[in-house]
Amino acid sequence: MQRIEQHASFGGRQEVWKHASASLQCDMKFAVYLPPAALRGEACPVLYWLSGLTCTEQNFITKAGAQAHAARHGFIVVAPDTSPRGSAVPDDPAYDLGQGAGFYLDALQAPWATHFRMESYVVHELPALVQQHFPASDARGVFGHSMGGHGALTLALRHPGRYLSVSAFSPIVAPSQLPWGRKAFAAYLGDVGAAWAAHDAVELVRGPLSQRLHLLVDQGEADEFIDTQLQPERLREACAARGHPLTLRMHGGHDHSYYFIASFIADHFEHHAQALSGRA
């Protein structure tokens, strides 16, 4: 592990680290915000932020305005890159497949299966690294945007007990049904219906779950992808049908950008704080 950036920020420190990932078999970067409490050596809950298509570890830490809230709540915030990276890693010229489009799952078929194992990376390898190198408690939450909102919802639903809280901005809730998800799932998972359903938040909510974690979802009504790629009403219907706790907030005028995320990120920290604070 090598620290490649550090910046004082709201009494804490925004850092970026580089390391050789065993799950992804490539060098990876991730961002970590250490709040003042962590710099004092106190064990802090960890929030994992998962970014959307084309993003790296940089987008969230430069644009979301999260550090002020992380500092106040005493949360470590970890933001990984969105896929394996590098010239040895398969890629696709499209922005929505290959590098920058890992979809937070472990790919099942060639040429993707060797490196594209973002679920293993985010759920297991990265938290182990974080526990080892930073004053992290066992309390974990996960949130994300768009493809990363899909990641947050599916990882929390697939790994009961691993995350105490989950939320999403403008998530892809039904990747099996809509173009971004269908393209990625066909490439990474192949023609396997059961594998698709296992990585689809709507399908997961419909199925049997040992735990029904409260989902907070914020969605802009002027989001340019709402009709073609997101369709949050699918999640609303599935949650209503199964009695799964969901707070879905629709925001007039808001688009798919980080301006939307920044406007409501304080509420997401409050949501996670209800589950994570005092759990250090």
Chain residues that interact with its own copies, rule: CB under 8 A: 7-11, 13-14, 62-63, 65, 67-68, 220, 222, 251-255, 257-260, 262-263
The least distance separating its own copies from the CB of residue 179, rounded to whole angstroms, comes to 24
> Which residues are bridge partners to 148 per DSSP?
none
Query: Please, which residues bridge with residue 34 across strands?
Result: 13
Q: What is the DSSP string of 206-229?
A: HS--S--PPEEEEEETT-TTIIII
Comparison of 138 and 224: residue with beta carbon closer to its own copies:
224
By C-beta, is 61 or 147 nearer to its own copies? 61
55, HSE (Cβ side, Cα atoms, 13 Å): 28
Provide the minimum distance between the beta carbon of 59 and its own copies in the complex, in angstroms, as a whole number.
10
260 three-state secondary structure = helix
Does residue 171 contact residue 217 with C-beta atoms inside 8 Å? yes
Minimum CB separation of residue 86 from its own copies in Å reads: 26
- Work out how close the CB of 62 gets to its own copies at its nearest, in angstroms, rounded to a whole number: 5
What does the alpha-carbon distance between residue 186 and residue 107 come to, in Å, rounded to a whole number? Answer: 10
When the beta carbons of 41 and 253 are compared against its own copies, the nearer one is 253
| CB nearer its own copies, residue 31 or residue 142 | 31
Report the catalytic residues.
146, 223, 256
| CA gap 93, 239 in Å, rounded | 36
Q: How many CA atoms lie within 13 A of 179 on its CB side?
A: 7
